[in-house]
């Protein structure tokens, strides 16, 4: 598809050699032919007017008009009286080996976990917040800001974390980052600088976390998770001096770290001088009971809490934050400065305005109701088609764990469902290679509507039956 430039006349780079023996007109023609043949200029694209191109190249207008007419006669260009001159000929691609067959088209019903309802992004509120940020931005806001983040957003995030997550934090302890992935990388590099070598990761858990630990120059150590959360006794025996946890709603099992385990974990951190990295990824969405307070609020000197708007608003914003102990906050901010000098300033101000205005809270209330309805659709569908399955992890978030009957082939269920245009994720993909455990499915429902959830479960009902 040709790009339609909105300016009165587009610009184009043509290089001429005035010391060459050939005429300048011949050079203009040859250069334009080469640009069209190579695909640098695509069919349908508009060229500068002859007057503009002549001025840009320091040539006479008649010479450029003559070049355009010659190329039009050869079929390279097309001109309309009183209109623009456009490229008429599509580039001929060089012969290439036939492409390898691509993956099959995406499944019609995708139960991938971790995806929020992308169609519910509060576009009107976000546009309002962007307008407010642009309208009220100062000269300083437009320049290079503090790498740790805009002071206004850091103050808003600190107040929000105290109010909603029972955090113990001040503005100086907040570092704004480009989402959870960057935030984790910053924290891991700061830990490496202080001398840490091994970091515990949950098993089962996101395998990407272990890979990110490796990329930071540290060694990942898998620690098992049971029905009460991370097994702290195993953590103490692992030799790790830092740990990455999802304590409010463990990924992927959905369990919350039990109160006694929380106390054990914090005693471990005190005794070992350890650091806990708390992934606060979907704490806004709880249904059956009151929200679980953050670990950071219990031990602000031992916990780095990482949050983002990827689940609450949308991943495309790439905005997150770290609440860090003062002794680590400066090191994390320095890592942020080395990485990219700071996240986009106007987007930070827009998020601050969105939260301050109450529109962010209102959006979360709407989404809590929407996800609760989707959650009910999933439990109803499984209750009808597979009542024997044990469903856990539904206290919060927008994924659940469905334990398959004993003897079930998890991989075969996932493969057969894909053939029916239903994409499932097995629990095995969250386990450290070599780990074993009961087969289960991780069912995400955030980005599906209720009819799709019911239809998807109905299509695979026979796959969920006990083997026999």
Q: Are 368 and 346 found together in one domain?
A: no
Q: Are 218 and 282 found together in one domain?
A: yes
Q: Are 381 and 332 found together in one domain?
A: no
Strand partners, 403: 390, 440
Q: Are 281 and 343 found together in one domain?
A: yes
pLDDT computed for residue 3 by the predictor: 59
Residue 435 pLDDT > 90:
no
Q: Are 80 and 224 found together in one domain?
A: no
Q: Which domain holds residue 325?
A: 121-359
Q: Please state the pTM of the whole predicted model.
A: 0.84
Q: Are 266 and 132 found together in one domain?
A: yes
Residue 136 pLDDT > 90:
yes
Q: Are 244 and 167 found together in one domain?
A: yes
Residue 111 pLDDT > 90:
yes
Q: Tell which of 102, 137, 155 closes a domain.
A: 102
CA 351 to chain centroid, in Å, comes to 17
Q: Tell which of 359, 374, 394 closes a domain.
A: 359
Residue 160 pLDDT > 50:
yes
Q: What percent of the chain has pLDDT over 90?
A: 71
Q: Are 271 and 409 found together in one domain?
A: no
Q: Tell which of 74, 102, 130 closes a domain.
A: 102
39-50 per-position pLDDT tens digit = 888 888 888 888
Q: Are 369 and 340 found together in one domain?
A: no
Q: What percent of the chain has pLDDT over 70?
A: 93
Dihedral sign computed on CA atoms, order 366, 253, 276, 115: negative
Provide the pLDDT confidence category of residue 103 given band limits of 50, 70 and 90. Answer: very low
Residue 290 pLDDT > 80:
no
CA 128 to chain centroid, in Å, comes to 23
Domain count, the chain: 3
Residue 443 pLDDT > 60:
yes
Provide the pLDDT confidence category of residue 95 given band limits of 50, 70 and 90. Answer: low
Residue 289 pLDDT > 90:
no
323-378 per-position pLDDT tens digit = 999 989 999 999 999 999 999 999 999 999 999 999 999 999 999 999 999 999 99
Provide the pLDDT confidence category of residue 134 given band limits of 50, 70 and 90. Answer: very high
Average pLDDT, rounded, for the chain: 91
Provide the pLDDT confidence category of residue 6 given band limits of 50, 70 and 90. Answer: low
CATH of the domain at 2: 1.10.10.10
| DSSP codes joined into one string, 250-272 | -TTT-PPPPHHHHHHHHHHHHHH
Higher pLDDT, 58 or 99: 58
State residue 389 phi and psi, 5-degree precision: -75, 140
Q: CA 326 → CA 109, 163, 329, 348, 424, distances in Å?
A: 46, 20, 5, 22, 42
Q: CA 105 → CA 1, 294, 371, 399, distances in Å?
A: 22, 41, 27, 24
Q: Are 295 and 400 found together in one domain?
A: no
pLDDT computed for residue 195 by the predictor: 95
CATH of the domain at 399: 3.90.1150.10
On the CB side of 121, CA atoms within 13 Å amount to 13
Q: Are 230 and 370 found together in one domain?
A: no
Q: What is the mean pLDDT of residues 297-303?
A: 95
Of 3-17, 77-91, 319-333, 414-428, which gets the smallest average pLDDT?
Answer: 3-17
Residue 202 pLDDT > 90:
yes
Residue 86 pLDDT > 60:
yes
CATH of the domain at 165: 3.40.640.10
Q: Are 338 and 386 found together in one domain?
A: no
């Amino acid at each position: 598809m040709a790009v339609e430039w909105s300016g009165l006349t587009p610009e184009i780079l043509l290089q001429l050699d005035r010391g060459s023996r050939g005429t300048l007109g011949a050079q203009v023609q040859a250069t334009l032919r080469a640009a069209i043949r190579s695909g640098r200029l695509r069919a349908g694209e508009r060229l500068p007017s002859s007057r503009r191109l002549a001025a840009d190249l320091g040539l006479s207008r008649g010479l450029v008009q003559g070049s355009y007419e010659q190329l039009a006669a050869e079929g390279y260009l097309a001109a309309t009286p009183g209109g623009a001159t456009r490229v008429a000929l599509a580039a001929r691609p060089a012969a290439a080996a036939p492409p390898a067959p691509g993956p099959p088209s995406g499944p019609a019903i995708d139960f991938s976990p971790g995806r929020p309802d992308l169609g519910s992004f509060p576009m009107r509120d976000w546009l309002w917040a962007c307008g407010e940020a642009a309208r009220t931005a100062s000269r300083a806001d437009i320049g290079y800001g503090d790498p740790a983040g805009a002071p206004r957003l850091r103050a808003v995030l600190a107040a929000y974390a105290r109010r909603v997550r029972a955090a113990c934090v001040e503005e100086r302890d907040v570092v704004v980052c480009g989402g959870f992935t960057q935030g984790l990388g910053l924290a891991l590099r700061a830990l490496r600088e202080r001398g840490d070598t091994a970091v515990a990761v949950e098993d089962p858990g996101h395998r990407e976390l272990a890979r990110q630990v490796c990329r930071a120059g540290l060694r990942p150590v898998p620690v098992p998770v049971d029905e009460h959360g991370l097994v702290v006794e195993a953590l103490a025996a692992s030799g790790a001096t830092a740990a990455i946890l999802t304590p409010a709603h463990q990924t992927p099992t959905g369990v919350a770290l039990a109160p006694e385990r929380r106390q054990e974990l914090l005693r471990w951190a005190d005794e070992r001088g350890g650091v806990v990295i708390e992934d606060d990824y979907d704490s806004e969405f709880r249904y059956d009971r009151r929200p679980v307070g953050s670990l950071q609020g219990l031990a602000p000197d031992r916990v780095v809490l990482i949050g983002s708007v990827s689940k609450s608003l949308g991943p495309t914003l790439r905005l997150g934050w770290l609440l860090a102990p003062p002794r680590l906050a400066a090191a994390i901010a320095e890592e942020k400065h080395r990485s990219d000098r700071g996240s986009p300033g106007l987007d930070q101000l827009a998020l601050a305005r969105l939260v301050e205005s109450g529109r962010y809270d209102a959006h979360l209330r709407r989404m809590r109701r929407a996800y609760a309805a989707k959650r009910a659709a999933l439990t109803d569908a499984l209750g009808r088609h597979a009542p024997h399955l044990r469903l856990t992890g539904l206290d919060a978030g927008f994924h659940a764990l469905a334990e398959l009957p004993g003897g079930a082939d998890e991989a075969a269920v996932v493969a057969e469902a894909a053939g029916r245009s239903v994409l499932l994720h097995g629990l095995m993909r969250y386990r450290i290679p070599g780990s074993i455990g009961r087969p289960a499915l991780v069912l995400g429902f955030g980005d599906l509507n209720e009819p799709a959830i019911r239809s998807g479960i109905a299509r695979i009902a026979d796959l969920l039956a006990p083997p026999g």
